[in-house]
Structure 1
């Protein structure tokens, strides 16, 4: 990407709409846009002040393409930190393309994915973690992921990391200075103060690393696997949770032979429900593959919802102990996995029978997916599995796997520095691990970057952002 180029792209979603916005950014943004725009007030775009709007016509020689509003943002006061023009035109795809073609003829280049935000980062308008949060904000589809992205865009934990990095850098400079006076046995870096800093850094790193477990599921949605024997109402429950006919429902056992997934928002948190093939012994090769996939999905799920048919237990006089046995099998195979035990079709039970079920399995949830009775209570139970305390209290939460990886590596290096202090190592040996910790801190905020790193990050952006 060449920063001296002036780039252009559609900033709004492609296709027809009431309004479309075309963004131009670069040193010649005003120069390239001015010839194709006739303002109603007859003032040239080149003479307009920053942060002003002009109404006028977009023209191709003397042919009017559209009547548009043109916004001017100059230099550091723009989103990208360079001259920027935004053309708000009518949302016809033909008009959009005509205007973009005119700008390309004037000398603009088509923007690459994320190039506007990349320029904002390179021009010091935001650090790298904030730039990544822009993509998260665009893709957020529930209140929790939106709040996390906004927190990150406001600085998030990057400002905390930046402050600690500066303090560590100061001590690193003093330790490096000691190396120049190694023969005189002088100590510029106070070891007690340095120990206090290392302890503080370890505490912050531990907190941020631990937050990733919560942040990752809040950002990407919490996967919930609905499992149980065939024909107990798993697909009916999925449809009831989603409030739509997403899965095929049939009285024939084994209808679901592959996993079906869909996502909804409960209490502002995204949940991804996975309807799996019924677990049973089978000679059907296709159904068997579906059952194998069921166990894979349980492994990936954050919460497991085990469903059984209460009517079957009642009419066939099965012992609830058999249900307990199946539950124990799942618990043993997936220890530590949160598990909800749900009895479906309880609309056929008497109150006394319901009490018996609850006495046998105290943690049991009762519902009728077909009648949609108890579904709301089940949704509330699912929310109880989510640790939203940190989100509610605006604590810093890490959601980005790249940040998480850099934090783990920084923690490893800081722990080495701690070990070195405990062993009384000399400054030259401490300096090696300090430099590595500084490197990983810098990777998060963008002080340390490579072309490959930036390419990987911004390639995931949409064009025009």
Structure 2
């Protein structure tokens, strides 16, 4: 894949703003920009040093389009590894388009999605996992996902993979060398050291594979389904968690007929709360559809929050038993799903009712969505379901499904090599599995790639990055 022309794109969000940044990259970037940049100090832009900023105007013939700042980054010391110019202009959509069209008429073409970062990868400024981290960094909307993306972009994950690959490649070379001297029955690769290396690689791969369970939910937000009978306060709880009137609240049972979703950050972790329709027997067709969606959301949620109406259980053993029956149904249907049982409207309960309820339902959380009492306790409880230890210790966490798939395949090949070593398999057969493991390592960092793979990855980037 050869990209040797000059591209241009808006690097800041489209629409009106205080300023906008236009980015050019390629062999003619500086010459094209210089042709239309008139410095206030009569400097020639293309003659200026790299990593400098200059004030001037973008001028077409005698028409001044805008006063701008032009930043020069000469390759290879730039983001893409090519000559790069960034033009900071006023944020009028008209001005943006006038400057972009000017450059397009004079030797540039519009950049494809992610093409600046693609060029950075092709020019060796980033490996593939670091390039993917750029997109994750742009999309990060909480502290945890930002921390993971920054670590990966700095090369934490790729360095770990590269180190393993280099060590495995060294032993693979020695085993391949043995094949050239097969008739002389010599061993260049120390088998005990090789077994130790395979053990270390297996340990690291298992840790990285296991980290995906945490990384995936941190990246995409942890889905929490808020369920219960109608009018128990599910929508009020959602509003209390979000600290805004997101869901409609009324005294009429069945007000929420469809699921409502919103996300907040708790302790730097993104949680996606889903307010569902109340579960009950109904003949209302629309409400029935909402209840069906409730069960679908429970199935997709990672944690289920079940609400009990504190008003209904006062001095009513029958209602308490009904709730206990419903709780057991959810536990039996979704045994692997964490369930938090909450008594809402606790501000309206007396001590005897609370004591009685606690004695019958274990790990009960007391809360008043209306007053906010107990909401912080719920947030703390939710954080317990996330393994934040890896984040605190700055360990590598895998969040990318493509990386996860390659790690699983590499681990499978490493296990084959270990089994082959144990059974005394010949070097030529061991070499086949080692090559496959190296292939999957290379797929992560981009040392092995294809145009189709790169197209799929960078198509998800925004234009201008």
TM-score interval, smaller chain: over 0.9
Q: Give 1:395's aligned residue.
A: 395
Deviation digits for residues 212-240 of structure 1, max 9, x if unmatched?
A: 10111111111100011122111111111
Between the two proteins, the alignment pairs up a number of residues equal to: 465
The residue aligned with 2:218 is 218
Distance 1:23 1:162 in 2: 32
Alpha-carbon distance in 1 for matches of 2:384, 2:172:
45
Tell me how far 1:315 sits from its aligned partner. 5.8
* C-alpha distance in 1 between matches for 2:44 and 2:182: 66
Return the offset for 1:298: 1.3
1:285 maps to: 285
TM-score w.r.t. the length of structure 2 is 0.98
Q: Are 1:295 and 2:283 an aligned pair?
A: no
Q: Which residue of 1 aligns with 2:441?
A: 441
Residues 312 and 318, structure 1, Cα contact 8 Å, conserved in 2: no
- List per-residue Cα deviations over 1:74-131 (Å, max 9, x = no partner): 0111000010000011111111111111111110010011000000111001110110
- Return the offset for 1:165: 0.4
In the TM superposition, what is the alpha-carbon distance from 1:451 to its structure 2 partner?
Answer: 0.8
Would the aligned equivalents of 2:229 and 2:279 in 1 still touch at CA under 8 Å?
yes
In 1, Cα distance between equivalents of 2:268 and 2:3? 40
Aligned match of 2:160: 160
Give the Cα separation in 2 of the matches to 1:422 and 1:319: 63
Instruction: Report the secondary structure of 1:76's partner residue.
Output: coil
Q: Which aligned pairs between 1:317-396 and structure 2 lie closer than 5 A?
A: 317-396=317-396
User: Equivalent residue for 2:451?
Assistant: 451
Distance between the aligned counterparts of 1:367 and 1:152, measured in 2?
39
1:413 is matched with: 413
Indicate whether 1:462 and 2:462 are aligned.
Answer: yes
Between the aligned partners of 1:230 and 1:315, the Cα distance in structure 2 is 20
Q: What do you get for the CA RMSD once the two structures are aligned?
A: 1.3
Other-structure match for 1:136: 136
Gaps of 5+ in 2: none
Question: Does structure 1 retain, via aligned residues, the 8 Å contact 2:312–2:319?
Answer: no
SS at match of 1:311: coil
Q: Which residue of 2 aligns with 1:110?
A: 110
Q: Give 1:319 shift.
A: 4.7
Counterpart CA distance in 2 for 1:315 and 1:11 is 64
Gaps of 5+ in 1: none
**Is 1:125 aligned to residue 88 of structure 2?**
no
Quick one: distance in 2 between partners of 1:305 and 1:158?
38
Q: Please, which moves more after superposition, 289-298 or 388-397?
A: 289-298
CA apart distance, 1:137 = 0.5
Determine the C-alpha separation between the residues in 2 that align with 1:332 and 1:44.
Answer: 75
- Shift of residue 285 of structure 1? 3.2
| Structure 2 counterpart SS, 1:312 | coil
Contact 1:75 1:82 in 2 (8 A): yes
Deviation of residue 316 (structure 1)? Answer: 4.6
**SS of 1:85's equivalent?**
strand
TM-score by length of 1: 0.98
Confirm or deny: 8 A CA contact 1:310 1:346 kept in the other structure: yes
Report the equivalent of 2:308. 308
State whether residues 134 and 149 of structure 2, in contact with CA within 8 Å, keep that contact through their aligned partners in structure 1.
yes
